[in-house]
Every structure is written in C-alpha cells, then in structure tokens.
C-alpha cells in the first residue's frame, strides 16, 4: 500500500529499525525494490532524484509507482530525492509523491532555513512530508550525485533548523559519502548521538553504499530511520551487464532488462535485511 513517508519513519523510530530508500530511474529498479521489500516483508521508499527530471516523464513515472505501491503487500512510499528547485517540489507534490527532500545545504544556514520553511509550509498543505539536510556529503567513487563539501552537521544548527522550519525528517552529515569510499570511512556515531539528543524527528543517513555494516547498525541505534542507497545497486546492474555482453550473442532487450533486475535484487535484499536488523 502507498503510505506517507513520515508515518513510515515514525514507526521506524519507535521500532529502532531503518527503512531503505532506493534511488530508482527505470521500471526495473522500481520492480526490484518492491519485490525485495515484499520478500523480506519490510517497508520501502522509492526515491527519484530531481537530477532525473530532464530524462524521466515524472508524472507518468509517479503514476506507475503509485499503482505498483497500491498493489504491494508492504508499505511503499514515493519520495523526491535531492531537489534544489521549488518548481520540482511542486511538480512532485502535484503528481502524488509522498514526501520531498529540499536540499538547501549549499545555502548559508539562515537562507537554508528560510527556503526550507517555505517549502515545508507548501508541502504540508498538500499532506506531503519534507526531508531537509544540514551539512553536506562529499562524493566518493561511482556516484551520480552532486559533489558536496563534506561539512558535518552541527547539532545546535540542526536543533535550530528543525525548530524553525518544521521539517519532518532530517538528513545528518556524519561522514558518509555519496558513492563508494576512497580510503577508510570515518563515520562519526558520537556526533550522531549528540544530534539525536537535541533533535526528536526521525533522522536520515545518505550514502548507504559501502558504509560498514557495523556503522549502519550503530547509526540505526542512534536515531537513523531512513538510509539512502544508490551506487551499489547501480554497480551491480552495470557490472552484470558488462559480463553479460562479453559472453552472449545478440540478446533480446526484454531478457537483458529482466536479468539486470535480477542482478540488482540480492544487493537490495542485503541492505533491506541489514536495516531491518535481520
Ligand atoms: P549512495 O550512492 O552512496 O548509496 O548514496 C545514495 C544517496 O544518499 C542518495 O541520496
């Protein structure tokens, strides 16, 4: 069933588990995410980034995901990931996204607060929940995200930000990166604990790919409820396709796409089980 992301994350906060938010860009990525969630009997968040708006029919895509979510045996929500433009947020709200992320992290704090508050008021009028980010993730290998500064979240700024904007869940920068780590990951769980002490809304961890499992478990115990995953799933699909094309004669595209979906599913299942504490 299609649910509001906020309700899903409040439940995760109470139950101390994490929900996977898989970045999607095709039918197969959505099918894989929902299929895995059903197999593991966990909720799942389908996340489409603003960066794919130029190439994806957003209204058509949202209608498709909503229809698939309604049929699903587990809670599914449709989330707009990393949106920088108000127009994209309104477009997502109009076509039925459950939640939106406004990424004002490139602005100074005061401006980020002003813009996020405005977005939050608009989204809440439509019953859509809002994620925002304080701090900024650096970019590792094979990621398709924007380059960030790697600035960690300051707990006092996070507290003021949440109080003044009314956002529903907050992405905290604690040292994870978008993409695969180059060198030893430095994840600051102690900082996350300090953020959790002053912020009572559900917390979000971006950069799920490559993050050591032990750190993920500790982060969930310190208030993380939603974990974004993109790069590792993409890598599984692309490396599958590379070996596939080396070994096969001319294949039909339908077979190629189906096999690519099957290659993504075990990677998604690994994350879903880890986040659920299985
Ligand atoms: P990864 O690509 O590191 O999994 O991060 C995804 C993400 O945080 C999207 O917002």
Q: Count how many Cα atoms sit within 13 Å of the Cα of residue 40 in the half-sphere of its side chain.
A: 25
**pLDDT at position 247:** 77
Which of 41, 57, 81, 154 is an active site residue?
81
Ligand 1 pocket, CB under 6 A: 23, 81-82, 143, 145, 178-179, 206-209, 228-231
Cross-strand pairs, 172: 134
SS3 171: strand
Average of per-residue pLDDT across 154-180: 96
Q: Is the pLDDT of residue 232 over 80?
A: yes
Q: How far apart are CA 96 and CA 160, in angstroms?
A: 30
Predicted confidence band of residue 106 (pLDDT cuts 50, 70, 90): confident
Nearest-CA residue for ligand 1 atom 1 is 207
Asked if 268 and 237 touch (Cβ cutoff 8 Å), the reply is no
Q: Is the pLDDT of residue 176 over 80?
A: yes
Q: Is the pLDDT of residue 249 over 80?
A: no
| pLDDT tens profile 59-103 | 999 999 999 999 999 999 999 999 999 999 999 999 999 999 999
> Ligand 1: which of 148, 209, 268 to mutate, judged by most atoms within 8 Å of the beta carbon?
209
Average of per-residue pLDDT across 236-259: 89
Mean pLDDT over each residue of the chain, to the nearest integer: 95
Which contacts qualify for 108-115: CB closer than 8 Å, 24 or more apart?
Answer: 109/134, 109/157, 109/160, 109/161, 112/161, 113/160, 113/161, 113/164, 113/165, 115/86
> Ligand 1: which of 33, 132, 170, 179 to mutate, judged by most atoms within 8 Å of the beta carbon?
179
**pLDDT at position 136:** 83
**pLDDT at position 105:** 87
Predicted confidence band of residue 250 (pLDDT cuts 50, 70, 90): confident
**pLDDT at position 3:** 97
List the structure tokens of 114. 């002003």
Percent of the chain at pLDDT > 70 equals 100
| pLDDT tens profile 181-190 | 999 999 999 9
Ligand 1 nearest-atom number relative to CA 143: 2
Ligand 1 nearest-atom number relative to CA 178: 3
List the structure tokens of 87. 């127009």
Q: How far apart are CA 160 and CA 233, in angstroms?
A: 35
Ligand 1 mean position to 210 CA, how many Å?
A: 10
- pTM attached to this predicted model: 0.96
Phi-psi region of 116 (alpha: psi -120 to 50; beta: other; left: phi over 0): alpha
Average of per-residue pLDDT across 244-264: 89
Is 41 in the active site? no
| pLDDT tens profile 206-231 | 999 999 999 999 999 999 999 999 99
**pLDDT at position 246:** 85
């Amino acid at each position: 069933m299609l649910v509001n992301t906020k309700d899903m994350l409040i439940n995760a906060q109470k139950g101390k588990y994490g929900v996977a938010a898989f970045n999607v860009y095709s039918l197969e990525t959505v099918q894989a995410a929902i299929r895995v969630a059903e197999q593991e009997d966990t909720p799942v968040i389908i996340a489409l980034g603003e960066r794919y708006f130029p190439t994806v029919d957003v209204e058509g895509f949202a209608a498709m995901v909503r229809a698939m979510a309604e049929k699903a045996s587990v809670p599914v929500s449709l989330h707009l990931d990393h949106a920088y433009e108000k127009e994209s947020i309104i477009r997502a709200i109009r076509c039925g996204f459950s939640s939106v992320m406004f990424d004002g992290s490139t602005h100074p704090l005061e401006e980020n607060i002003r813009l996020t508050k405005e977005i939050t008021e608009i989204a809440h009028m439509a019953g859509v929940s809002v994620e925002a980010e304080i701090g900024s993730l650096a970019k590792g290998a094979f990621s398709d995200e924007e380059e960030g500064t790697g600035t960690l979240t300051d707990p006092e700024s996070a507290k003021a930000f949440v109080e003044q904007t009314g956002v529903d869940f907050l992405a905290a920068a604690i040292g994870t990166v978008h993409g695969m780590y180059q060198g030893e990951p430095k994840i600051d769980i102690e900082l996350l604990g300090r953020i959790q002490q002053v912020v009572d809304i559900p917390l979000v961890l971006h950069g799920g790919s490559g993050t050591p499992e032990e750190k993920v478990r500790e982060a969930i115990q310190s208030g993380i409820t939603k974990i974004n995953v993109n790069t590792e799933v993409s890598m599984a699909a692309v490396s599958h396709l590379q070996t596939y094309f080396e070994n096969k004669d001319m294949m039909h595209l339908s077979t190629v796409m189906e096999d690519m979906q099957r290659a993504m599913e075990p990677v998604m299942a690994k994350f879903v089980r880890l986040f659920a504490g299985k």
